[in-house]
Structure 1
Amino acid sequence: MGENLPLLCVTWNELSELPTHTAQRILATTIGTGRKRNYETRTNMRVIYSIALLLLFTITITRADEDTVNGHGRHHPVPLDPQGSDDSSTEKRTTAMRATSPNMARSMYNIPGGDNAGAGQTVAVVVAYGASTAESDLASFSTRYGLPPCTSDNGCFKKVDQNGGSNIPRDDTGGAAGWGGETALDVQWVHAVAPAANIILVCANSSLSSNLFPAVRTAASLANIVSLSWGAAESGVPQTAMEAYLATLRGRISFFAATGDDGRLSGYPASSPSVIAVGGTSTYTNSDGTLEYEEGWEGSAGGCSKTYTATTPQMSSGSGSLCGQKRATPDISFNADPNSGVPIFYNGTWYQFGGTSLACPIAAGRAAAVMGSNENIRVIDAQHIYNNAVVRDVALGYNYNYSATVGFDLVTGKGVWIGDTDASSPVGPTPTTPSTLNTPTSSVISTSASSTTSTTSTPVSTSTTSISCQQMWSDLPCRTLYEDPTKMNPTALNSARDWLCSQENGRYCQDIQGSGKWSQCNAAEQLSYAMSLFYADHVTSQGDAACSFGGIGVVVLPSTWSASSTTSLPSTSSRKKTSSVAERSGSSTSELTTNDLSTSPPISRIQDSNSGVNVLTLSTITLSLYSCEPVGCTDETV
Structure 2
Amino acid sequence: MHLRARAKLLGMGVAALTAVPLAIIGPAGVSQAAAGSGQSTAHSCATPARGHASCQAIVRTDIAAAKTVAPNATPSGYGPSSLQSAYKLPSSTAGGGRTVAIVDAYDDPTAEADLAVYRAQYGLPACTTANGCFKKIDQNGGTSYPAKDGGWAQEISLDIDMVSAICPNCHILLVEAKTSSFANLGAAVNRAAATPGVVAISNSYGGSDASDSSYGSYYNHPGIAVTASSGDSGYGASYPASSHYVTAVGGTTLNTASTTRGWTETAWSGAGSGCSSYNTALSGAASFATGCSKRAEADVSAVANPSTGVAVYDSTAYQGSSGWMVFGGTSVSSPIIASVYGLAGNTGSIDNNYPYTHSTSLFDVTSGSNGSCSTSQWCKARTGWDGPTGLGTPNGTGAF
Instruction: Give TM class, smaller chain.
Output: 0.7 to 0.9
Is 1:107 aligned to 2:85, yes or no? Answer: yes
1:359 aligns with 2:333: yes
- Counterpart check, 1:282 vs 2:253: yes
2:310 to 342, 345, 353: 342
Aligned match of 1:67: 51
Number of the residue aligned with 1:118:
95
1:210 aligns with 2:174: no
Letter in 2 for 1:334: A
Structure 1 residue 316 displacement after superposition: 3.2
Instruction: Give, in whole Å, the separation in 1 of the partners of 2:358 and 2:344.
Output: 12
Aligned to 1:179, the other structure's residue is in SS state: helix
Q: Secondary structure at the match of 2:254?
A: strand
SS in 2 for 1:307: coil
Aligned residue number for residue 31 of structure 1: 27
Going from structure 1 to structure 2, the CA distance change for 1:246 and 1:231 (only over 3 Å counts) comes to: same
Shift in Å, 1:266: 3.1
- The whole-number CA distance in structure 2 between the counterparts of 1:79 and 1:380 is 43
Shift of 1:285: 0.8
- Secondary structure of the 1:243 match is helix
- In structure 1, how many angstroms separate the alpha carbons of the residues matched to 2:288 and 2:228? 19
TM-score, normalising length: structure 2: 0.81
> Are the equivalent residues in 1 in contact too, given 2:202–2:338 (CA < 8 A)?
yes
Cα distance in 1, alignment partners of residues 337 and 184 from structure 2: 24
Relative contact order (alpha carbons < 8 A, sep ≥ 6): 1 or 2 greater?
2
Tell me the CA shift for residue 116 of structure 1.
3.6
Name the CA shift for 1:287/1:153 in 2 (closer, same or farther; >3 Å). farther
Identical aligned residues as a percent: 35
Question: Which residue does the alignment assign to 1:79?
Answer: 64
User: How far apart, in 2, do the equivalents of 1:48 and 1:300 lie?
Assistant: 17
Which whole-Å deviations, capped at 9, do the CAs of 1:361-396 have from their partners, x for residues lacking one? 11011111111xxxx663553232111351111111
Q: Hey, what does 2:294 align to over in structure 1?
A: 326
Deviations 1:231-284 (A, max 9, x none): 10014xx7524214534x23x111000001111223000011110000001011
Q: 2:154 aligns with which of 165, 168, 181?
A: 181
Quote the residue 1:191 is aligned against: 164
| AA at the equivalent of 1:158 | K
- Kindly tell me: are residues 267 and 245 of structure 1, through their superposed partners in 2, closer, same or farther at Cα, counting changes over 3 Å? same
Distance 1:141 1:290, change over 3 A: farther
Contact 1:276–1:332 (CA<8 Å) still a contact in 2?
A: yes
CA–CA separation in structure 2 for the residues paired with 1:405 and 1:84: 42
Deviations 1:87-112 (Å, cap 9, x if unpaired)?
A: 9x8x9xxxxxx832201111111112
Aligned residues of 2:232 and 2:270 also touching (Cα < 8 A): yes
Provide the residue aligned with 1:256 in structure 2: 227
Query: Deviation per CA, 1:11-65, whole angstroms, max 9, x where unpaired?
Result: xxxxxxxxxxxxx956264227x9xx99x9999846979xx9xxxxxxxxx7642
Correspondences of 1:62-461 after superposition (within 5 Å): 64-71=48-55, 74-75=58-59, 77=61, 78-81=63-66, 99-112=77-90, 114-172=91-149, 175=150, 178-222=151-195, 223-235=198-210, 240-247=213-220, 249-250=221-222, 252-286=223-257, 291-319=262-290, 322-323=291-292, 325-347=293-315, 349-371=323-345, 378-379=348-349, 381-389=351-359, 390-401=361-372, 402-421=379-398
Counterpart position of 1:474: none
Determine the structure 2 residue equivalent to 1:631. none
Change (3 A) 1:47 1:263: closer
Partner of 1:439: none
Q: Distance in 2 between matches of 1:300 and 1:85?
A: 35
**C-alpha separation in 2, matches of 1:332 and 1:288:** 22
CA gap of 1:289–1:70, structure 2 versus 1, over 3 A, is: farther
Amino acid at match of 1:233: S
* Change beyond 3 A, Cα 1:171–1:292: same
Equivalent pair of 1:30/1:75 in contact (CA under 8 Å): no
Bigger proportion of residues as strand: 2
SS at match of 2:54: coil
Residues 162 and 326 (structure 1 numbering): CA distance in 2 closer, same or farther, change over 3 Å? same
What is the rounded CA distance, in whole Å, between the counterparts of 2:303 and 2:267 in structure 1?
9
What is the letter of the counterpart of residue 140 of structure 2?
A: N
Shift in Å at residue 209 of structure 1?
Answer: 1.5
CA RMSD of aligned residues (A): 3.4
Q: For 1:67, what is the secondary structure of its paired residue?
A: coil
| Structure 1 unaligned regions, length at least 5 | 1-23, 53-61, 92-97, 422-446, 448-456, 458-638
Contact 2:206 2:239 in 1 (8 A): yes
Unaligned runs of 5+ in 2: 1-19, 316-321, 373-378
Partners of 1:287 and 1:41 in 2: how far apart? Answer: 30
SS of residue paired to 1:378: helix
For residue 295 of structure 2, give the secondary structure of its aligned residue in structure 1: strand
Rate the CA distance shift 1:288–1:185 in 2: closer, same or farther, 3 A.
farther
Q: Distance in 2 between matches of 1:196 and 1:386?
A: 27
- Structure-2 change in CA distance of 1:283 and 1:240 (3 Å): same
Name the amino acid aligned to 2:248.
Answer: A
8 Å Cα contact 1:104-1:289 kept in structure 2: no
1:123 deviates by 0.8
More helix by share: 1
Deviation at 1:191, TM superposition (A): 1.1
